[in-house]
Chain A
């Protein structure tokens, strides 16, 4: 029996199991690219408008950081700029989750053992998962290319655009194939791969803001960016991409060949034989379960804040040089352009940090479905106390992650202005002002968990997605900015640029409390498990 025996069967199994999930995820990415391309053409109909837009964008460090520079003022060039980065991130996430679901997650649950006892070779699972992931990306690339061509965009550019998105995703599929060999749990394997993805995207962001080409070479996102769809259409950056993929896959197979089924390379450690005296309540347990995730988010957001604090001054100078942006900031009431930069990134980051808040809230669901909640609830612990403990940690944790962002920004920026104390106080305050908005989304998650537990994750993340989509609609489709009023994130004052007002904060806090209370009331009534 060769190491690959049974790969075909496993491929069919993955296709059968992910027959809804994969087409939706990959399909939405393709639709996003095609949809944005269609709307860009309408938003900037004339060559002149596009030239102006290119000029302001390439002078705006926040845009350079989040997305990168525009290479060409054609409709295709703008579309490529606007959506390539996000599409690559989303589809890479889809790829790495597909690969880990097909490999480590199967081993962790023991299903792989069931399959492994049949005629299935050692490398079959890894090969099947990688094959499906690579093929799904290729199909997505072709769909994107066809979609763009159907809008009258050049064929070559359309194809390069599709491939550049898929190429980044291939890299992370291969990386996930490797991390799945290293750890015992799917969660850790995903965590490592996603962290690597975030760091490599951040490297690209730093490179683009600093206009440093050698830094950009450190990240696969920098390589695929160099394919420049509709602005030169290069195929050669695929060479380093393929090289890296081959390297990762080779290491993954080598690791897979040398370990036991179910085991990782990073060894499992023994724990203490006795619990610390503090571990004696459901709240203490919730803290124990959540602290790792919270620590990771707090460190990441502080580090990211420090990075933003570091680029703030040069960013502000560039903002000042751009007349349109300076005018905008002045109209919003800000005298210092650097404050405009901070207000914008805090607004944006608070939505990213909401992912933590939703994730932490949905811990309740994971505890319930795994049956671990039963062990606690069969003890003298009421449902409200059990759920309340997790939610209290979520609320406090969201505050800590936001504070980390403000602290990082304030410290690094303050060191450069010579007033760390003052800057930390100001930016810490500005970040924490966003807490009520974040908590409203967490409260929506808690409400749905109480009412419709099966749909909790989908509805909560969709709500967050809609808030981001509104932003997109206003920015790209020129929708009336007043639609943003629906979003809890637009309700909190945009410190440090805007005036501080306490009323919206109180109102949002009241809404969050009300939604959470309704969720807990529903939880109290329903069946568990």
Chain B
């Protein structure tokens, strides 16, 4: 078994809203897989289908070599889930909730539980209704991380955590990776995804638009170049693959496609280069490039339903 999750052509509609429109997703065993997309892109819907809470209209979804809908109960012994919007039972304390969820999944190590509570600085005696958003998330995180599940499904698990706790979270996920666990991490925090994920899938309007390692994705996108030449900048406007060109005397700034990099550098070297800074695209830039159309063109018809 090399693929822990394999989803292809997934379609799910709610009334007239098409939440998923042929989504593909493959998560390999032992990897931390980033699941990116703007609000309403279908991340939570996909996760809820994988958990057997929703049933897809068409397409296939396999999870740990089983059918997420039919084999839900047996599959769930091997996974732990942290929802994006954690709600707790108002009358149960955080500690009780952690114990309950852990025991239902077949028990949890008291040592590991104590260690995680300590690390996340969580008071387990507070009642569910008394926790802040971040602390509710910590309760769900401790419950999930204290389990010995093969697969962790985390739906925006750190949206309420402070930067200090964000670091603690990243350390914990690195540990899980070393233990050989598979993680599906849906997130908005791109720095987190860059730090943690082996591979990412970017989805938009219910469809996968990019998938691969960060290096592969970078190759497909633009590098930003800032250079100062020894002579005047040659006429580059119109050169294939060069974008957002800005020039002033001997200086220039531009974005260049991966496959046009060679051509551009050739042009610059011919004039003579005094200094050059080349920066690979950050995930933010890749992300924004994919969503930019959403913001401009079709903003009106964008699906906004999360579930």
Q: How far is the CB of B89 from chain A (nearest CB, A)?
A: 6
Instruction: Tell yes or no: A151 within 8 A of B by CB.
Output: no
Instruction: Tell yes or no: A24 within 8 A of B by CB.
Output: no
Q: How far is the CB of A186 from chain B (nearest CB, A)?
A: 11
Q: How far is the CB of A402 from chain B (nearest CB, A)?
A: 25
Partner of B104, one of A185, A281, A528: A281
Contact indicator B96/A371 (Cβ below 8 Å): no
How many residues of chain A have a CB within 8 Å of chain B?
36
Contact indicator B129/A380 (Cβ below 8 Å): no
Q: How far is the CB of A336 from chain B (nearest CB, A)?
A: 46
- Residues from chain B with a CB closer than 8 A to the CB of A285 are 89, 100
Which of under 10, 10 to 19, 20 to 34, or 35 or more describes the interface residues of B? Answer: 35 or more
Q: How far is the CB of B4 from chain A (nearest CB, A)?
A: 16
Q: 0/1 per residue, A256-292, Cβ < 8 Å to B?
A: 0000000000001111111100011110110011001
Q: How far is the CB of B47 from chain A (nearest CB, A)?
A: 10
Contacting A at CB under 8 A, from B61-104, are 72-74, 76-77, 79-81, 83, 85-97, 99-101, 103-104
Contact indicator B104/A527 (Cβ below 8 Å): no
Interface segment among B23-31, B49-57, B169-177, B206-214: the answer is B49-57
Instruction: Tell yes or no: B16 within 8 A of A by CB.
Output: no
Cα–Cα distance between A372 and B74 once the two chains are bound (Å)? 20
Contact indicator B76/A289 (Cβ below 8 Å): no
Contact indicator A279/B99 (Cβ below 8 Å): yes
Contact indicator A375/B83 (Cβ below 8 Å): yes
Instruction: Tell yes or no: B130 within 8 A of A by CB.
Output: yes
Contact indicator A380/B105 (Cβ below 8 Å): yes
Closest to A110 in B: B133
Q: With A289-B89, A528-B53, A529-B307 in contact, do A375 and B101 touch (Cβ < 8 Å)?
A: yes
Cα–Cα distance between A375 and B89 once the two chains are bound (Å)? 10
Instruction: Tell yes or no: A325 within 8 A of B by CB.
Output: no
Instruction: Tell yes or no: B203 within 8 A of A by CB.
Output: no
- Residues from chain A with a CB closer than 8 A to the CB of B95 are 271-275
- Residues from chain B with a CB closer than 8 A to the CB of A378 are 51, 53, 76, 79-81, 153
Contacting B at CB under 8 A, from A136-190, are 184-185
Contact indicator A282/B87 (Cβ below 8 Å): no
Contact indicator A282/B53 (Cβ below 8 Å): no
Contact indicator A379/B105 (Cβ below 8 Å): yes
Instruction: Tell yes or no: A377 within 8 A of B by CB.
Output: yes
Closest to A377 in B: B53
Most buried by B among A370, A374, A376, A381: A374
Contact indicator B100/A280 (Cβ below 8 Å): yes
Closest to A279 in B: B100
Contacting B at CB under 8 A, from A513-529, are 525, 527-529
Cα–Cα distance between A380 and B76 once the two chains are bound (Å)? 5
On A, residues with C-beta under 8 Å from B are 108, 184-185, 268-275, 279-282, 284-285, 288-289, 292, 370-372, 374-382, 525, 527-529
Q: List 26 A-B contacts (CB under 8 A).
A: A270-B125, A271-B95, A272-B93, A273-B125, A274-B95, A274-B96, A275-B96, A275-B103, A279-B96, A281-B103, A285-B100, A371-B86, A374-B83, A375-B101, A377-B52, A378-B53, A378-B76, A378-B80, A379-B76, A379-B104, A380-B73, A380-B104, A382-B73, A525-B55, A527-B53, A528-B53
Having A281-B103, A375-B140, A380-B77, one finds 10 other A-B pairs with CB under 8 Å, namely A273-B95, A288-B89, A375-B81, A376-B104, A378-B53, A379-B76, A380-B104, A527-B54, A528-B53, A529-B48
What are the 10 closest A-B residue pairs judged by CB atoms, nearest first?
A: A271-B93, A275-B99, A378-B81, A280-B103, A275-B96, A273-B95, A270-B125, A380-B76, A380-B77, A379-B104
